[in-house]
Amino acid sequence: MKLILDACCGSRMFWFDKKNPNAVFCDNRQVLETLGDGRVLRIEPDILCNFKALPFPNKSFYLVVFDPPHLRRAGEKGWQAKKYGVLPQDWQKELRQGFLECFRVLKPNGTLVFKWSEVQIPLSAVLNLAPEKPLFGDRRAGRGGQWVVFMKEEKQV
C-alpha cells in the first residue's frame, strides 16, 4: 500500500514529482486534450474513482491531499472547467462527503492537506464542512490557491 493519497489529482500540477512512487493518484476523470492555447491537458489517475467514495480501507494513508473542484460556475467548454472541474449545485454536501472520505482513509494522527481557491466560494464556508478543525494554513485571501493542514486526531476510547 502507498503512503500518500491524492484524492483528486487532476493534472498533478503542484507535484514536483508527478510520478512520486509513494503516492496513489485518484481522479473521477481521464483526459488527454489540447486546449485552445496549444497546451496539453493530461489527467491520468492511477485509479479512476470519486473522492466521495474512495476504494480504500479505513486508515490506509499517512498523508492525504484533497484539492477538489472549487468552481461553481464555468463555461462548459472553457479551459478552467476542463482543468479544475465544476462543483454541483449541492456543493456543500459534495465537499462534506469528500472531507469525510479523506478522513476515513487517513491513519490516526495522519495529515490532510487541503487546497482551495476563493475565486467563487470563501475558504471559511468550506472549512465549516470539515469534521476536524484545521491546525494551520495560508490565511491570505485571494484568487490563488490556499493551503490548510489538518491532523486526524486519534480518538481515545
Could you tell me if residue 27 is inside a domain? yes
Contact 75, 109 (CB under 8 A): no
Contact 22, 1 (CB under 8 A): no
Q: What is the pLDDT of residue 156?
A: 53
User: Is it the case that residue 64 has pLDDT exceeding 60?
Assistant: yes
Q: Which residues pair with 40 in a beta bridge?
A: 34
144: pLDDT confidence band, cut at 50, 70 and 90?
low
154: pLDDT confidence band, cut at 50, 70 and 90?
confident
Q: What is the pLDDT of residue 79?
A: 72
* pLDDT, tens digit (0-9, with 9 covering 90-100), for 93-118: 999 999 999 999 999 999 999 999 98
Distance CA 85, CA 58 (A): 27
Could you tell me if residue 157 is inside a domain? no
Residue type at 17 in one-letter notation? D
Could you tell me if residue 42 is inside a domain? yes
Could you tell me if residue 156 is inside a domain? no
Report the CATH number that the domain containing residue 107 is assigned in CATH: 3.40.50.150
Could you tell me if residue 90 is inside a domain? yes
Range of the domain at 47: 4-151
pTM (predicted TM-score): 0.91
Could you tell me if residue 93 is inside a domain? yes
Task: Collect all residues with Cβ–Cβ distance below 8 Å to 104 and sequence separation of at least 6.
Answer: 54, 58
Q: What is the pLDDT of residue 56?
A: 98
How many domains does one find in the chain?
1
Give the chain's end-to-end CA distance (angstroms, integer): 27
Contact 10, 68 (CB under 8 A): no
143: pLDDT confidence band, cut at 50, 70 and 90?
low
